[in-house]
Amino acid sequence: MFMIKIYTTPSCSSCRKAKKWLDKYMIEYVEKNIFTQPLTGDDIEIMLQNAENGFDDIISTRSKIFKEKDLDIEDMLMSELKDFIIENPSVLKRPIIVDETRLQVGYNEEEIRIFIPRRLREMIMNIEVSNENSDEYEKVLEQYLEELKAKA
């Protein structure tokens, strides 16, 4: 099974929110701090694998270094872009959360739910969840977490 990988930086509040969310649902992940653990070509390949818009999904063209160097993604070869990211990891949007089929860039409370494990999704689908019934959801979540603890 492919482990969820989250690419982060220490000062990123969205990264902290995403990790807190993953921890809440006891979802295992591997964290890679892009400033202290050098990125590899494989890391970038994993990100691009599920990116609908390629590099546009993962690179912040508004970043200082992009502006300073006056770069245009369209004018760069794929290998040049990969090397540029490896040398300048701060150009990546953060956090970047990936697994074998999914990519989530940034923290979005709704979109991050794609990483909810199948068993929990099945349990949630079996309840009527509405704004008035959110304690039902909390009960299901508690039941799910108890199941996980029992397996551990």
Given strand 4-8, what is the order of strands in its sheet? 29-33, 4-8, 96-98, 103-105
- Count CA atoms closer than 13 A to 75's CA, side-chain side: 4
Q: Specify whether 15 is catalytic.
A: no
Q: Measure the CA–CA gap between 36 and 74, rounded to whole angstroms.
A: 29
- Which residue is catalytic, options 4, 6, 12, 22? 12
Q: Pairing state of beta strands 96-98 and 4-8?
A: antiparallel
CA distance 32 to 15: 11
Distance CA 75, CA 13 (A): 32
In total, the chain counts a number of residues equal to 152
Q: Which residues are catalytic?
A: 12
